[in-house]
Amino acid sequence: MDNFNLAVNTHVDPRRVQPVDVGADRHLLVDDFFLAMGRGHEQYPRGIAWTLGTVDKHDAPLFEGQPPWEEGSAWLTVLKDDGRYRMWYNSYHPKARSGLFLSYAESGDGLEFTRRELGLVEVAGSARNNVVFDGGLAGVSPESGNVFIDPNALDGERYKLIYTDWWGPEIAELPFTHNVGMLRGAASPDGLRWTRYYDNFLGKYCDSQNSACWDHTLGRYVAYHRATAEHAALQAGSVSIRGERRGRAVGRLESVDYRNWESTGIALAADFHDTLDTDIYNSAYARYPYSPNLHFMFPSFYRHYEGTFEVQVCTSRDNRTWFRANRDTFIPLGAPGNFDCFIVSVAPGFVAVDDDTLALYYRSGDGPHGGSKPIELDYAPRSRVSRVTFKRDRIVGIEAGAEGGRFITRPLSFSGTRLLVNLEALGPEAELTAQLVSVDSGEPIDGHAFDDCRPVRADALDGAVRWGGRDRLPADLAGRPVQLHVRLRAARLYAFQFAA
> In this predicted structure, what is the pLDDT of residue 410?
96
CA dihedral (105, 216, 263, 31) positive or negative: negative
Question: Does residue 77 form part of some domain?
Answer: yes
171 φ, ψ (degrees, to nearest 5): -60, -30
Angle at 382 between CA 379 and CA 384, to 5 degrees: 140
Q: Give pLDDT tens digits for 203-238.
A: 989 999 999 999 999 999 999 999 999 999 999 999
DSSP string of 429-467, one letter each residue:
T-EEEEEEEETTTSSBPTT-SGGGEEPB-S-EEEEEEEE
- My answer on whether 325 and 461 are in the same domain is no
Question: Is the Cβ–Cβ distance between 484 and 406 less than 8 Å?
Answer: no
- My answer on whether 148 and 48 are in the same domain is no
Question: Is the Cβ–Cβ distance between 55 and 390 less than 8 Å?
Answer: yes
- My answer on whether 315 and 455 are in the same domain is no
- My answer on whether 271 and 406 are in the same domain is no
Separation between Cα atoms, residue 260 and residue 494, nearest integer Å? 38
Q: Which residues contact 322 (CB under 8 A, 6 or more apart)?
A: 267, 268, 297, 314, 315, 316
Question: Does residue 3 form part of some domain?
Answer: no
Question: Does residue 89 form part of some domain?
Answer: yes
- My answer on whether 359 and 412 are in the same domain is no
> In this predicted structure, what is the pLDDT of residue 6?
53
Q: How many CB atoms are located within 10 Å of the residue 207 CB?
A: 17
CATH number where 449 lies: 2.60.120
Mean pLDDT of each 10-residue bin along the chain, 500 residues long: 52 67 97 90 92 97 91 94 96 77 97 97 91 92 96 97 82 60 96 96 93 97 96 95 94 98 97 93 97 96 96 98 97 97 98 98 96 91 97 98 97 97 97 96 95 97 95 93 97 98
Separation between Cα atoms, residue 38 and residue 438, nearest integer Å? 12
- My answer on whether 431 and 287 are in the same domain is no
Q: Give the three-state DSSP class for 172.
A: helix
- My answer on whether 389 and 405 are in the same domain is no
- For the chain, the average pLDDT equals 93
Alpha carbon distances (Å) from 11 to 7, 8, 407: 12, 9, 22
Question: Does residue 8 form part of some domain?
Answer: no
Separation between Cα atoms, residue 478 and residue 500, nearest integer Å? 11
**Within 13 Å and on the Cβ side, how many CA atoms surround 2?**
3
> Which residue type occupies 209?
Q
Q: Which residues contact 253 (CB under 8 A, 6 or more apart)?
A: 201, 202, 222, 223, 224, 225, 261, 262, 263, 264
- My answer on whether 77 and 177 are in the same domain is yes
Question: Does residue 177 form part of some domain?
Answer: yes
- My answer on whether 205 and 268 are in the same domain is yes
- My answer on whether 282 and 415 are in the same domain is no
| R_g over Cα of the chain | 26
Question: Does residue 6 form part of some domain?
Answer: no
Which of 376, 393, 410 represents a domain boundary (last residue)? 393
Q: Give pLDDT tens digits for 225-271.
A: 999 999 999 999 999 999 999 999 999 999 999 999 999 999 999 99
Question: Is the Cβ–Cβ distance between 211 and 263 less than 8 Å?
Answer: no
Domain hosting residue 260, numbered range? 56-393
CATH number where 156 lies: 2.115.10.20
Q: How many domains does the chain have?
A: 2
Query: Which 8-state DSSP code applies to residue 366?
Result: S
> In this predicted structure, what is the pLDDT of residue 99?
77
- My answer on whether 101 and 135 are in the same domain is yes
Which of 335, 359, 393 represents a domain boundary (last residue)? 393
Question: Does residue 494 form part of some domain?
Answer: yes
Which of 359, 393, 427 represents a domain boundary (last residue)? 393
CA 252 to chain centre: 15
Question: Does residue 4 form part of some domain?
Answer: no
- My answer on whether 358 and 447 are in the same domain is no
